[in-house]
Structure 1
Amino acid sequence: MKRRKFIKYSSAGTLLINLLPQQLFAMQQFTEEELIGKGTPGLYGDGFQVRKEVYDAFVKMKAAAQKENIDMEVVSGYRDFFRQKAIYERKYKKYTEEGLSPVKSIEKIIEYSTIPGTSRHHWGTDMDIIDARGKHEGDVLIPDKFHGNGPFCKFKEWMDKHSESFGFYLVYTDNGNRKGFKYEPWHYSYKPLSGPMLKEYRKIDIKEMLIKNELLGKEHLSDDFIDRYRRENVLDINPELL
């Protein structure tokens, strides 16, 4: 090979190697269908599903945690639009039948659950994780179980120290000034991929998308509500993920 061509190819290879993972993922194209949970992303996992890049990083993190007697278990990974819609509409019917107004019902739903088409779980980058070795009863996704003498406090302490080195960041932090979804010490996002996806997601007209998808109670989603939901629930997250 001629020296000039060798330099050209070597320089190109060095450039790709030196690119950060997030920069490489940013080069990918994400369709609106993917971003709202109606796409067909390649998914991997045993008992849960996420994108391959996320799965590979999780396997490495899980192996590291096992050395300290922590057995990571994914409670929830990828959820498509239709699964999220079923969750949302079941709660909407329950709360309205109990006497709450449609608007109050939606506000109660979004304390912890997302409106379909707006969930980070649609991306295959986010997971709800616990420690399978933590002895517990009832619902596992309770903040108190991750602190003090809770069954998952050792897991949380380990994640606070190590998760970011594997690319995983807590999404809904315990910050008193943060609005939107309540604190979720179990919900982690793989930043190298979810960062570029959020950037693309911000271009979507959420209200138009929800009206088009025939959501229960959509007539009560005013412009003011959607603006606030986008600002507080979609974007008021761990600033490291923005």
Structure 2
Amino acid sequence: MQIQPQHASYEQIRDTAARLEEQGVDVLFNWDHFYPLYGEPDGLHFESWTMLAALAEQTSRVEIGALANCNSYRNANLQADMARTIDHISAKGGQGRFIFGTGSGWFERDYDEYGYGFGTVGTRLAALAANLPVIRERWTKLNPPPTRHIPILIGGGGEKKTLRIVAQHADIWHSYSDPATLERKLGILAGHGRAVGRDVSEVEISTEIGKRGIAEVEELHALGTTLFTIATTGPDYDTAGVADWLAWRDEKNSATRV
């Protein structure tokens, strides 16, 4: 579940996270923006990373992360250290539960209002590609190190650059693809994998359910999608349909075990 941190108080966000963990979801995401993406443009909004640290302390089972972090807003080494710290906060005697979801950034108002250079799609993607090795190297230098291999989730569907970065660095690839688009892009991702010398079958496929019906979600699952996301926004955080999708997940997992 992506709990969009807009148009709601922090108490509403916190209570929604608790309810969803109790209900049985596997991952809680927020997003990394400074203003609402839709609705009242100057409505209530909260920052991503500090919220993730709070959710790490509040929760005990779910994985947590941003869908997605904006690479442009923070120094690469700082991102690595923040991720490692939240990994430890979430561990509670075991392995951490943090997912490093990231992307190149796109919401121009964030850049303008907070003083970041917006650049171009190309320069932002180049910065992401340059920063990911720095982040991974910093994780090897931190004391204490992360409690586990922190999964890197990369969001986006650009075929020439983004999917090549996915092939090089991602543990999880997230997109909003329909089945036909996903099938085509998986072929492109496999080609990038061959080019960089990596078997991309080890990359988990993540896709937004959105308003898709069960037949289309079944198609996405058949293509290899194993992480499905549902977004909910403030102030009411409607989670009415979650139980049905959790039942579908449990049915699929039961069939796999058999």
The structure with more radius of gyration: 1
TM-score of the pair, normalised by structure 2: 0.23
- Greater share of residues in strand: 2
TM-score normalised by length of structure 1: 0.23
Which of the pair has the greater relative contact order for Cα pairs under 8 Å at 6+ separation?
Answer: 1
